[in-house]
Structure 1
């Protein structure tokens, strides 16, 4: 006997669920994010060249990522993010442009080499290896744009220290389709580049002292 579908369990129709998703951007974004992770796995991580795929422990701050895998004997982590639908547009030449939101869901205190601390959701240089941006919003259909962590633009926020701006990845990153550098539609080419030229480990510390923070803006503390 088959298990009832989620529609049957919730006693709603396919049309009703579609209407709810269409009318609630936050619900749509959450569902699309989980589906994107699954589609990324299906399209790329089931490749015979990829081994030992796993989902990282959310409490491991040393190497953050949605998926971890082995490629040619080296361990990699990937962050899967989605485009901001409201920022996507189709250009006159048939190409697409938009922006991906690239930050974390939880705040934590980050300690930098200049002895400053920052309470932030922004992701860090070296915190993961590869960014995969779900580009479903570009004309629909499942496709991804990939970039190396080391090639991603950093924050330009003036209230950050110079060291913080160097280490913090920008929260909104421009993406196009077809992809333009630093993005590519071929993750394996980028993985090969990272194997050929290994990147340095980050010299940043993260603290889990605060599990929940109410501030709406990043809090900067510079020790004197």
Structure 2
């Protein structure tokens, strides 16, 4: 099991080792610590660009659904542009890892399934768009779905805001009622996603936030160990 950054570096090194476009000299440089990082960065950038082009061709229906959802969003132009940028950044990384890693498992805490919150308008009535998003997105090997009561989530968000001042940009300026509505909708979309992906053959571990954290942590550990090669 690897982190996203470690997996990207390993994928880039593999690309350098097997890609005929890399000279013998550059392969030797990849073995020198002071030369490796710049070379890996260049390989990641080039690899992400090429992998994204192939991803876009293969998953054009998914990207069309995303584009339509951003167009329908009532958020400000800046928020839509920012959300689209971060969505594409995640897509580029996933496309790269899918192409250059073999027989390895990568655990994403910000995967395409999570990116539905950046893509979908945060109000009821968009269930059909959310369902299309999950029906067209690339199928992950497994998904961990943590369900929760909206009131519990809002309470924890406000407690964290008071303690640390941290609040995600999309929640800033919302009243408690507005935050409750937004949170309830996001939880609803997550349930739709878990249902759709499971129907498509994805392994889904369903958890509830009301269970003791120790119990959920144990179930997550066992689930990951069962999925990872």
TM class by shorter chain equals under 0.3
Higher strand share: 1
Q: Which has the higher contact order (CA 8 A, sep 6+)?
A: 2
State TM-score, norm by structure 2: 0.27
